[in-house]
């Protein structure tokens, strides 16, 4: 069976992920021609063409939405990861101060205070 899909509607990455997710059930042959993806699907068992089409199109839609969500939330995920990593920083040089100057504030301390400030704290 062959599906012809609009290349503007579905990102190539979503198409490849949808195929990859169904490799256990189907064989795929992909090509692209004049703004369309041509997807030849051969089942590994006796699955009907209607089931093949529905299953694959659902998987393609799912992968397209996952990609859209990942792109839209990329910045917040990077911010959360950076915040999580920054909160685990341990300054080994200033762990023990034998001179007793631990009360002295450095530029590094001020920058860390700005970075590690509670997001919900309002000044």
Domains of the chain: 2-72 (3.30.70), 75-115 (no CATH)
- Tell me, rounded to whole angstroms, the distance of Cα 33 from its chain centroid: 28
d(CA 59, CA 18): 5
pLDDT in tens, the chain (123 residues): 999 999 999 999 999 999 999 999 999 999 999 999 999 999 999 989 999 999 999 999 999 999 999 999 999 988 888 888 877 766 565 555 555 555 555 555 556 666 666 666 655
Q: Which distant-in-sequence residues (6+ apart) come within 8 Å of 66 by Cβ?
A: 14, 17
Model confidence, pTM: 0.65
**Rounded to 5, what percent of the chain is helix, strand, coil?**
50, 15, 35
């Amino acid at each position: 069976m062959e599906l012809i899909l609009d290349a503007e509607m579905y990102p190539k990455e979503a198409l490849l992920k949808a195929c990859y997710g169904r490799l256990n059930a189907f064989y795929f042959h992909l090509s692209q021609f004049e703004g369309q993806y041509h997807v030849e699907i051969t089942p590994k068992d006796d699955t009907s063409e209607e089931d093949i089409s529905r299953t694959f199109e659902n998987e393609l839609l799912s992968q397209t939405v996952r990609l859209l969500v990942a792109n839209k939330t990329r910045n917040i995920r990077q911010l959360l990861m950076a915040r999580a990593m920054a909160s685990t920083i341990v300054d080994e040089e200033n762990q023990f101060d034998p001179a007793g100057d631990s009360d002295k504030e450095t530029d590094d301390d001020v920058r860390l205070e700005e970075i590690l400030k509670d997001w919900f704290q309002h000044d």
